[in-house]
């Protein structure tokens, strides 16, 4: 019986440790921004992090790594380390470009997408006339 209790205690401790680790694994990759950000310099990643309307990259990769991928992202920051441009690439061609302008207080003033994001057409369900 002591052996069963000991096994159960060990299993409980392992389960508790696993539950403690799970939230750590779910931390947003937004915290993985480049360590040192310089205005006007391109940064690349195969991960995209969207925080509201602003698109940013996850873990920074070098250009040689991402260029080999089917899709990847490039961002440029301003002097305040805010994203001012985000480019999305597929097979080396730009398929989407987001540009951002900020007000003096740092709030997002303008977000332009090229090509423009199309509004979804409403779908009429049968019998809803």
What is the rounded radius of gyration, in angstroms, for the C-alpha atoms of the chain?
A: 22
**Residue 107, pLDDT score:** 92
**Residue 81, pLDDT score:** 92
Give the model's confidence band at 54: pLDDT under 50 very low, under 70 low, under 90 confident, else very high.
very high
* pTM beyond 0.95: no
∠ Cα 60 62 63 (to 5°)? 125
Q: What is the largest CA-CA distance in the chain?
A: 70
Q: What is the pLDDT of residues 76-98, one digit of tens each?
A: 999 999 999 999 999 889 999 99
**Residue 28, pLDDT score:** 39
Question: Closest Cα to residue 73, out of 54, 31, 81, 112?
Answer: 54
Q: What is the pLDDT of residues 10-46, one digit of tens each?
A: 545 544 445 444 333 333 334 467 778 899 999 999 9
**Residue 99, pLDDT score:** 95
Sheet holding 71-77, edge to edge: 43-45, 71-77, 83-90, 93-102, 108-114
Q: How many CB atoms lie within 10 A of CB 100?
A: 18
CB 37 within 8 A of CB 77: yes
Q: What is the DSSP letter of 127?
A: T
**Residue 119, pLDDT score:** 54
């Amino acid at each position: 019986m002591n052996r069963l209790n000991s096994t159960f205690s060990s299993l409980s401790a392992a389960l508790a440790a696993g539950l403690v680790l799970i939230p750590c694994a779910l931390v947003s990759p937004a915290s993985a921004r480049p360590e040192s950000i310089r205005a006007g310099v391109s940064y690349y990643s195969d991960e995209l992090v969207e925080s509201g309307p602003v698109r940013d990259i996850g873990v920074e990769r070098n250009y040689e790594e991402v260029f080999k991928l089917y899709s990847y992202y490039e961002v440029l920051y301003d002097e305040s380390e805010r994203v001012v441009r985000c480019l999305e690439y597929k097979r080396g061609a730009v398929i989407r470009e987001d540009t951002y302008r900020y007000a003096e207080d740092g709030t997002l003033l303008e977000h332009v997408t090229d090509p423009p994001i199309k509004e979804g057409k409403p779908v009429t369900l049968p019998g809803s006339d």
